[in-house]
Amino acid sequence: MKFFIDTASVKEIREAASYGILDGVTTNPSLLSKEQGEPLAILKEICSIVDGPVSAEVVALDKDGMVREALDLVKIHPNIVIKIPLTKEGVKAIRELSQKGIRANATLVFSSNQAMLAAKAGASFVSPFIGRLDDAGHVGMDLVREIVTIYGNYGFETEVIVASVRNALHVVDAAIAGAPIVTCPFNVIELMFKHPLTDAGIKKFLEDWDKIKKRGQA
């Protein structure tokens, strides 16, 4: 299973990369808007930190505009993957980019039908938005299970990126569903480390070790 981080914060990406568990990065216009600095420069810096796919999203709504933006974005670094919303124009753009050998990540995916269209168009990645489905009263993870099954049934090579992750349980459920990739906000990566029994265990080990040292001094 690959772990991506879902942020445009260079600080968070540097920190998560230092753990040695990071396989890629996903950004979107909202995440980039939270950061100071020019988006292309930020994306370039991100690519210098993480050696893996870095998703950068187009904002044009028509196929030609999407492809034009994609061609500019891929100049940043060979690891750039073009994030394209799953619309009719988006599907056309994904097809054209895949024919040019440019990897696309079909984003804002909320149904298995959309995920099938992304795969048929040749998307390298598909991003079902789990948290936003949960927020709207659906079980987001059901969608992940469906897509993983459908892609398996037909041998589609498009990789599922479980996106819009809100908590550590989403990560476990994504793994149980067999999703190849999960993209987590920084706070969820931090939560994955935490367990009170680990902290309590370390405290006890150190206290007992101290007893040994004191015995030696007596």
Point out which residues bind ligand E4P (CB under 6 A). Answer: 6, 26, 28, 107, 127, 129, 131-132, 163-164, 183
CB of 163 to ligand E4P, least distance (A): 3
Pick the closer one to ligand E4P by CB: 65 or 131. Answer: 131
User: Pairing state of beta strands 80-85 and 125-128?
Assistant: unpaired
126 near 92, Cβ under 8 Å?
no
Residue number with CB closer to ligand E4P (76 or 133) = 133
Taking CA 37 as the corner, what is the angle to CA 45 and CA 25, rounded to the nearest 5 degrees?
40
83 is catalytic: yes
Q: What is the helix (H) or strand (E) element at residue 63, kind and residue range?
A: helix 63-73
188-197: long-range contacts at Cβ-Cβ below 8 A with a sequence spacing of 24 or more? 189/3, 189/5, 189/16, 189/19, 191/167, 192/168
For residue 18, the minimal CB distance to ligand E4P (Å) is 22
Distance in Å, CB of 184 to ligand E4P, minimum:
9
Backbone angles phi, psi at 53, to 5 degrees: -60, 130
Q: Nearer to ligand E4P by C-beta: 107 or 114?
A: 107
Q: Which long-range contacts (CB under 8 A, 24 or more apart) does 151-155 make?
A: 151/115, 151/119, 152/178, 154/119
Instruction: Report d(CA 175, CA 36) in Å as an integer.
Output: 34
| Smallest separation (angstroms) from ligand E4P to the CB of 83 | 7
Report the DSSP beta bridge partners of residue 184. Answer: 5
Provide the residue count of the chain. Answer: 218
Contact 156, 162 (CB under 8 A): no
* Cβ distance to ligand E4P smaller for residue 112 or 127: 127
Residue 28 or 112 having the CB closest to ligand E4P: 28
Minimum separation from the CB atom of position 130 to ligand E4P (A): 8
Active-site residue, from 34, 44, 63, 83 = 83
Catalytic residues: 83
